[in-house]
Chains A and B, each alone.
Chain A
Amino acid sequence: MTSLPSNDALAVMQGICGLSIKWIDFAYIVASIFFIFGIKMLGKVHTARRGNMVSSIGMLIAVLATALYVGIDYTWILAGIVVGSAIGVIAAKRVAMTAMPEMVALFNGFGGLASLLVGWAEYERIMHFPVAEGGDRWAAYLAHAQTEYYFINIVTWLTIWIGGITFTGSMLAYLKLAGKVSGSPVVFKGQKIINALVAGAMILAIVPQCLIVDPSASYFAVVATIVLSLAIGILGVLPIGGGDMPVIISLLNSFSGLAAAAAGFVIGNTVLIVAGCLVGSSGFILTLIMCKAMNRNLYNVLFSGFGAADQTGAKVEGEMKGISVEDAYYVLEAARSVVIIPGYGMAVAQAQHAVKELATRLEENGAEVRYAIHPVAGRMPGHMNVLLAEANVPYEQLVPMDEINASMETVDVALVIGANDVVNPAAVNDPTSPIYGMPIIDAYKARSVFAIKRGKGAGFSGLVNTLYFLEKTRMIYGDAKAVVGELAAAFKEE
């Protein structure tokens, strides 16, 4: 990129200082400060919304400064921004709160693909860099861009494969979460070997790309990196079960940041490096925090094929006993202490408002109502908090897992609404279960348990929930929203 001083004053200053100062760098520094404060503020409840605003202002500064600096080609870029903004706003406004996780996955995939394309475009620029007949194209480009041969090849390769994995990985995570493909892990024989071979080939593609100094001859290596990285994104996410998708989305979010940072190296742009790297490292920490909440480590999540068909834990004795809404009402009516344990089923059924209604009725009836929130209930951390907040559930009633478990023995009714793995006692008492060791909400310690469930099948992870087979447990079959609505209506009639 060539330096274009914006005005005479700056040109004079450059002359005096003997430095090549570009005003765009100052704009990027300001944007970076906004990003840093934005992320910091996003981590605290009372500043989170402003933090998001602050970081969006940083983005606006970076985009506007770039547009002014390069003397933008308004027709193409403006068209692109208008189209992208329209799609982004409509998608973000229309999506139901319950479908938020898959929306984030989708956006994330687009970001990854964009980074891949930026890296690819720069490589095309090198391939077509104008040189005199018989001249050295690479030498001309390197002199122009003031960079090094190996460096530019390695960072281009990094940008492409990280971006590619982010794209297809996020798309598959989106499809799994949206239920467009099965959420259960896909495991087949020799899978690990195939994955290792494809990943190895992708990594080795850098060798021919760097060794062949003639750009047009090394082009195949770049194409191979693109194809192999797209394949790895799919192959890597296939064996991961829907229950682990939050961790995967968080990891892919971290990847999309790294892809942007790598693209920043390719085009020598500081703001891409700073912002991308901030997302990359903070996203990685967030991924580890989530893993910890599930008592798993990252290796385990990525490579164990968690919840695959051959890992269903011990056989369960007994049978599930159903109960009618009417009978359930009589028990709830007598209950003094009720704990509601929401899960993804509540999100799917859009039952949060009905749940709030039922809770209000229970309180009017003199019962103490609390909500037990598992850190990874739903498809994303805090998923339940967002949904219940939407239904105006008071913040104080949302009780974290550790706190609620301490008083679970005194609870009359634990009402499980669409939660499954997070209340499965197998995690506590069955060492053969694949989720053994995962912290759960101890619903099985309550005096009685009601579980609202659509059918008799296993949960999202494919595991049998031993809670449902306990003597004190009664199943209420039906759509969560309908059942909760009927329960609330039963209170109203009395």
Chain B
Amino acid sequence: MDIAQLIFIFTISAFLGLELIAKIPSQLQTPLMSGSNAISGITIVGAMLATTASGIDPTIVRVLGLVAVILATINVVGGYVVTDRMLAMFKKKEGK
């Protein structure tokens, strides 16, 4: 894709992110941090692409990719599960 288009996407996303959480109650700040931390594990997609053998890549690319896949998966899966555990507690109390 055109470099200018990538930068354009980046810019729009940056401003969107700023708008998304203008106001946030303090008890949700930790879950929000944890939940958005899980999203930053999106780098798993890049790790998967690096790990995929194209036939021309040396082993080191795949090894780096594999380690990245493991680390990013921990980030993604762990992040979502931990966030859900935290939020489940708020839910329980609201039901009353």
Q: Enumerate chain A interface residues (CB-CB to B < 8 A).
A: 1, 35-36, 38-40, 42-46, 48-49, 51-53, 55-56, 58-59, 62-63, 66-67, 70-73, 76-77, 79-81, 83-85, 87-89, 91-93, 95, 97, 100-101, 103-104, 107-108, 110-111, 113-115, 117-118, 120-122, 124-125, 128-130, 146-148, 151, 249-250, 253, 256-257, 259-261, 263-286, 289-290, 293, 373, 375, 380-383, 385-386, 389-390, 392-395, 398, 400
Contact = CB atoms under 8 A, between A and B. Distances in A.
A269 B21 CA distance: 25
A56 B87 contact: no
State the majority secondary structure of interface residues on A: helix
A271 B42 contact: yes
A494 B34 CA distance: 44
Contact of B39 (A59, A97, A395): A59
A289 B30 CA distance: 12
Residue from A259, A272, A385, A395 having most chain B Cβ neighbours under 10 A = A385
A52 B83 contact: yes
Contact of B48 (A70, A130, A290, A381): A70
Contacts of A92: 77-79, 81-82, 85
Interface residues of B, number: 83
B57 to A, nearest CB: 6
A66 B65 CA distance: 14
Interface in B38-53: 38-53
Contacts of A71: 52
A125 B65 CA distance: 11
Nearest to B58: A128
A280 B14 contact: yes
A55 B38 CA distance: 9
B11 to A, nearest CB: 8
A124 B26 CA distance: 44
A51 B82 contact: no
Given A43-B24, A56-B80, A282-B21, A84 B29 contact: no
B48 A250 contact: no
B8 to A, nearest CB: 10
B6 to A, nearest CB: 6
Contact of B20 (A43, A70, A95): A43
A110 B80 CA distance: 14
Contacts of B36: 39, 42, 253, 257, 278-279, 282-283, 286
Nearest to A62: B45
A227 to B, nearest CB: 16
17 contacts: A1-B49, A45-B28, A55-B39, A59-B44, A101-B30, A107-B37, A107-B74, A108-B75, A111-B43, A114-B44, A114-B67, A118-B46, A121-B50, A274-B13, A277-B17, A279-B37, A382-B27
A257 B1 CA distance: 21
Contacts of B81: 88-89, 92-93
Contact of A259 (B29, B43, B56, B65): B43
Nearest to A59: B76
A259 B46 CA distance: 11
State the majority secondary structure of interface residues on B: helix
Contacts of B18: 281-282, 284-285
Given A36-B16, A92-B78, A121-B50, A104 B28 contact: no
Given A110-B72, A274-B13, A279-B36, A43 B42 contact: no
Contact of A95 (B50, B56, B77, B82): B82
Residue from B6, B45, B47, B61 having most chain A Cβ neighbours under 10 A = B45
Residue from A87, A267, A276, A400 having most chain B Cβ neighbours under 10 A = A276
Contacts of B13: 261, 273-274, 277-278, 281
Nearest to B7: A265
B50 A59 contact: no
B47 to A, nearest CB: 6
A110 B71 contact: yes
B75 A107 contact: yes
Contact of B40 (A48, A81, A265, A276): A276
Contacts of A91: 74, 78
The 3 closest A-B pairs by CB, nearest first: A84-B73, A281-B17, A80-B69
Given A52-B80, A285-B22, A394-B93, A43 B37 contact: no
Contacts of A55: 35, 38-39, 80
B37 A104 contact: yes
Contacts of B82: 92, 95, 100, 103-104, 107
Contact of B45 (A40, A43, A63): A63
B3 to A, nearest CB: 5
Contacts of B9: 270, 273-274, 277
Contacts of A382: 26-31
Contacts of B34: 100, 104, 107
